[in-house]
Structures are given as structure tokens and as C-alpha cells.
């Protein structure tokens, strides 16, 4: 058992855990931060991804002692960090995942969002290939990858102040509805181009 001095989501915390506990175990079972998920627990799935000094790491393969003196960001910390910057609502990446329906069961989502956050912090305008590479270590067993990549692209577009590209599920019908709402409805009976 050792005392641990950790900085989690900007808070300095002191706790104690056996030396062989991982950062993931301390987060979940000492600090009650259960947003970081315990999936495979051996570095295959990425569900436990947290940021360590801004870099995505696997909390299940990080000894808690190793995280001392470094800044840990978990999914619980994104919204407060966003608020500290004087902005309202969720982190734009969280918001984009919400708007794009980038989840099915949701288990991979905290890790996905943190990997995406780290990517966008380093590169504000990633290509689709770069997004896919940055998220390669996060597995989604529901295989909802299309919406997940779209969500990251949506967050990029919003940050850049440009119109997001149409998403895969946006059928011509859904897009026509958008046009109608904006009051640009075609005269009835006119053929669609």
C-alpha cells in the first residue's frame, strides 16, 4: 500500500492503493470515476483510454504510481475543462458524438472521445485517414465506426466554422426536411432536380 498523489482532471488528490494497482483500478475503485471502462484489461480494446499529460494512454496498462506528478484527464474532466474556458455545454467532441449518434452500447465511447480529443488538440484539421489512424486503438464491438469518424469530422467542421459534410444516414429525404424548415420549400408539384 502506498500513498498516491495524483492530479485528476485538474484536481490534486491524495489516495492510497496497493503498488500493483493500475491507474484504471485507482480511478474506478478508489475515486469512483467509472467513466473509464474496464474492457479487455490487457491493452487490446482502448476502452480505458485516458490522457496523461495530454497523450492518450491505456489506464489498464499504466501502474498508478507511474501517473504521479503527471496530469490525468478522464472523460469526467472534459466538460469541466470546457466550462473553465468560459464556454457552455459539453466538450465539442462530446457534443459531436451526441449529434451524430456515434454510439450504440456506449462502452467504447469515453475512450473514443478521449483519443479524438487528443488528436484534435494536436491537429485541428485531420484528414479522414488521420482520424482513423488516431482511433485505431479503440475498438467498437457494435462496429459503429462510420458515425464515430463522422462525429470527429463534425467536431472539426464546427471548430472551423464550416458546414459539416452530410453524414451517411442523412438521406435525400432528411435533407429535404431541413430545407423545408428553413423556408425554402419548392412549390408543390415541381419535380425534384
Using rule CB under 8 A, residue 118 touches other proteins = yes
Q: Do 22 and 69 contact (CB within 8 A), yes or no?
A: no
Give the other-Cβ count within 10 Å of 26's Cβ.
Answer: 26
For 99-121, letters b (16+ CB in 10 Å) and e give ebebbeeebbbbbbbbbbbbbbe
3-state helix, strand, coil in the chain (%, to 5): 40, 15, 45
Using rule CB under 8 A, residue 71 touches other proteins = no
Q: Would you say 62 or 73 has its CB closer to other proteins?
A: 62
Using rule CB under 8 A, residue 12 touches other proteins = no
CB of 20 to other proteins, least distance (A): 5
Give the other-Cβ count within 10 Å of 164's Cβ.
Answer: 18
Using rule CB under 8 A, residue 24 touches other proteins = no
Using rule CB under 8 A, residue 130 touches other proteins = no
C-alpha to C-alpha distance for 116 and 124, rounded to whole angstroms: 11
Binding span for other proteins by CB under 8 A among 63-71, 80-88, 94-102, 156-164? 63-71
Q: Would you say 58 or 113 has its CB closer to other proteins?
A: 58
Binding site residues, other proteins, CB under 8 A? 2, 18-20, 22, 41-43, 46, 49, 52, 55-58, 60-63, 65-66, 115, 118, 133-134, 136-138
Amino acid at each position: 500500500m502506498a500513498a498516491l498523489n495524483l492530479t485528476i482532471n485538474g484536481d490534486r488528490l491524495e489516495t492510497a492503493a496497493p503498488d500493483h494497482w493500475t491507474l484504471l483500478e485507482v480511478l474506478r475503485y478508489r475515486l469512483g470515476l467509472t467513466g473509464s471502462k474496464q474492457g479487455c484489461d490487457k491493452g487490446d480494446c482502448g476502452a480505458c483510454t485516458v490522457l496523461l499529460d495530454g497523450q492518450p494512454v491505456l489506464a489498464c496498462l499504466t501502474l498508478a504510481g507511474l501517473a504521479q506528478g503527471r496530469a490525468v484527464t478522464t472523460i469526467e474532466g472534459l466538460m469541466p475543462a470546457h466550462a473553465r474556458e468560459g464556454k457552455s455545454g459539453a466538450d465539442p467532441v462530446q457534443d459531436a458524438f451526441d449529434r451524430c449518434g456515434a454510439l450504440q452500447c456506449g462502452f467504447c465511447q469515453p475512450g473514443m472521445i478521449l483519443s479524438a480529443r487528443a488528436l484534435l488538440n494536436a491537429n485541428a484539421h485531420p484528414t479522414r485517414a488521420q482520424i482513423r489512424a488516431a482511433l485505431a486503438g479503440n475498438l467498437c464491438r457494435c462496429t459503429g465506426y462510420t458515425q464515430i469518424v463522422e462525429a470527429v469530422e463534425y467536431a472539426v467542421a464546427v471548430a472551423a466554422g464550416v458546414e459539416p459534410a452530410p453524414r451517411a444516414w442523412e438521406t435525400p429525404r432528411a435533407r429535404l426536411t431541413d430545407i423545408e424548415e428553413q423556408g425554402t420549400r419548392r412549390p408543390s408539384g415541381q419535380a425534384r432536380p
